[in-house]
Structure 1
Amino acid sequence: MIVGRSIVYVSCNPSILARDLAILTNAGYIVDRVQPNDIFPQTHHMECVVRIYRG
């Protein structure tokens, strides 16, 4: 487990998530894990939880 230099990012908008991850990876962060979650079943929404850390 990465402690200290990690961020857990929760997003409900995949295009904004992609934009922000591009910015963060260009700043030296590394995507460790991505987990999609269907928190609101019966809707078209899908949330993503992403763990990133500074390499």
Structure 2
Amino acid sequence: MYMSDVMTVGVSLAGLPALSVPAGDSDGLPVGVQLIAQRKNDALLFSLAKSMESHND
């Protein structure tokens, strides 16, 4: 289980806000992007995710 999320653990341990956003597809497979912000900057992440979602529709 740990190896499947090894790239995200450091961010969580650092206490940084992060979220994963769908970013289209490549060769028929879905691609996602993890967005990371500075501490207490959650609003920036939600704003960016909303913008990305509207561009990918």
Q: Bin the TM-score by the shorter chain.
A: 0.3 to 0.5
TM-score between the two structures when normalised by the length of structure 1: 0.44
Q: Which has the higher contact order (CA 8 A, sep 6+)?
A: 1
TM-score between the two structures when normalised by the length of structure 2: 0.43
For the pair shown, the structure with the greater C-alpha radius of gyration is 2
Q: Which has the higher strand share?
A: 1
